[in-house]
Chains A and B, each alone.
Chain A
């Protein structure tokens, strides 16, 4: 009786985790955009693989004995996977935009491709539009609007 319960618990954990990973791999084909693939990867590394690793820990405990070394390593693996996938997704998203990947034609918003509304237009002079187009919190003493103009594609060469 106990063997049936432990087998079903370990089976649920490991095969459930495997289903998450293979669903994420199939989703890479059905999606039309590189940015959506970034979102489709999060169930695999955030939930699928931690479930598999916890299943391996439960299996080890049932076969031999409870060891603190195994469960400490399982905790490190789960924490490291969640942290690494979060940081990696952030860095990859920024790099994919800066490398110029094409967007899905059904995308509605693309705010990084246009200039923000509070930015002063440098080609129209600094007497007529400077009082309405100053960024919030910056002193409008003149001459500071060209220094902090953001460019979405080509920037930060001197960093």
Chain B
């Protein structure tokens, strides 16, 4: 069972690295904001995978808070790329 969780966490980590490579080679700011949102949500998946490997159910609380606060990160990125305008 831990092999399945390891494979999933490696896939999520690979998607984070691919997303960071896309952010480094992007030409416009909109691409960076969108891929940054994807990296944030993949991090939530890694936290959920860690809750099985360490046998602690309190990591699910961290994932709840992170997924609710994710809207703040997205709206902040949108406000940054328009230089403060709505």
Contacts and interface: CB of A to CB of B under 8 A. Distances in A.
Contact of A53 (B15, B30, B48, B79): B48
B29 A15 contact: no
Given A52-B45, A91-B75, A98-B85, A41 B38 contact: yes
Interface residues of B, number: 48
Contacts of A91: 74-75, 78
Q: Specify the main secondary structure of chain B where it touches its partner.
A: helix
Contacts of A74: 60
Nearest to A95: B78
Interface of A (DSSP majority class): helix
Contact of A7 (B1, B64, B82): B1
A34 to B, nearest CB: 4
Interface in A1-51: 7, 10-11, 14-15, 17-19, 21-22, 24-26, 28-29, 34-35, 37-38, 41, 44-45, 49
A94 B8 CA distance: 33
B9 to A, nearest CB: 8
A137 B71 CA distance: 37
Interface of B: 1, 4-5, 7-8, 11-12, 14-15, 18-19, 22, 28-31, 33-35, 37-38, 41-42, 44-45, 48-49, 51-52, 57, 60-61, 63-64, 67-68, 70-71, 74-75, 77-79, 81-83, 85-86
